[in-house]
Amino acid sequence: MTHSLTETFPRVRIAHVPTPLERLHRLEGVLGSPVPIFVKRDDCTGLATGGNKIRQLEFYFGEAREKGVSHVFITGAVQSNFVRSAAAFAAKLGMKCTVQLEDRVAGKDDLYHHGGNVLLDRMFGAEVVRFHVGEDEDGADKNLEAMAEEAGSKGEVPYVIHLSESPRPLGALGYVCAAEELLKDFDMRPFELTHVILPSGSASTHAGMLTGLCAHGRSDISVLGACVRRDASLQGPRVRRVCQALENMMGLDAVVDDDLVRVTDATFEGGYGVVGDSTREAMEMGARLEGLVLDPVYTAKGFAALIDFVRNGEPRGPTVFVHTGGLPAVFAYGQSILR
């Protein structure tokens, strides 16, 4: 598949795409939905149990490979899907990888700190270091850069994948591609896509999808981001800034108007990785109605926002939930999920 908007950027094509689009008939029945509901199965992108990060990392590692990088550095929460996916990418491409884990979620047990994604980080051969300040993006990035500088002084060619906002949001390009893919999904169906709902954290997935749709002339499709890292008053402006940075990086005229940036914190439940009633309900409904495994940090909160959206009578037409993966984290949150 050719993506004319992104073809000038170096890319390592590893993701299993296009991912499936499935209709959620049983969920529609239980919610009494007046419109069709679909799930875009980006949990099926292949590498390292899949997820949205695989699409994003194709562009980071495309640049890294072009630069002759030997050692990749990345930071994220203890159960970060991004970190786990980067470790797998590095292993597949023969690069060293150092992952820095930030302790963002208080009161977690040994299983959380050593199982799930952390276990996979180690299985993929990554060096694992800890950064015990959980909410300091700039500090985490500076620590990462210091480690990369030291590696460079020893003759390695380092590459840093930052956590904080960047003037070059390469990962968002993955969801510019996904937007085009989603439009093609609906070319083959007797429905006109109206709404997209997805988890919104770093804003790369959200901004990429929104910018991609708008760049293809489909600003009529509503994109709603479910807050998973910060409340709506902070997340909305972040999404807007990433959209602007993405437009600049791609050389686009401004295609995303301010009023198109939509976020909700109705299912945020008080913090990153906090498992509350709506998160548990979403996990249960996804699993028992449709056989979908939703993680408690991202996808369950996004799915809860979908449920809330339908219950409040908001959908005007066919609605797609983007399943961004996160399977390994489920095995680190057992006690929180079952409580």
Query: pLDDT, tens digit, for every residue of 33-66?
Result: 999 999 999 999 999 999 999 999 999 999 999 9
**Does 28 reside within a domain?**
yes
Last residue of a domain, one of 161, 184, 209: 161
84 & 177 share domain: no
191 & 313 share domain: yes
| pLDDT tens, position by position, 11-41 | 999 999 999 999 999 999 999 999 999 999 9
38 & 85 share domain: no
Mean pLDDT score, 190-216: 97
| pLDDT tens, position by position, 153-198 | 999 999 999 999 988 999 999 999 999 999 999 998 999 999 999 9
CATH code (residue 129): 3.40.50.1100
Q: Which of 33, 80, 200, 278 is catalytic?
A: 80
Beta-bridged to residue 129, according to DSSP, are 100
**Does 229 reside within a domain?**
yes
**Does 148 reside within a domain?**
yes
319 & 179 share domain: yes
pLDDT-above-90 percentage for the chain: 91
Last residue of a domain, one of 110, 142, 161: 161
280 & 322 share domain: yes
Do 285 and 27 form a contact (C-beta atoms < 8 A)? Answer: yes
Report how far apart the first and last C-alpha atoms of the chain are (Å, whole number): 44
Which range of residues forms the domain containing residue 298?
21-51+169-338
198 & 319 share domain: yes
**Does 296 reside within a domain?**
yes
Q: What is the pTM of this model?
A: 0.96
Band of the pLDDT at 1, cuts 50, 70, 90?
A: very low
Task: Tell me whether residue 202 is one of the annotated catalytic residues.
Answer: no
Band of the pLDDT at 339, cuts 50, 70, 90?
A: low
Query: Total domain count for the chain?
Result: 2
207 & 247 share domain: yes
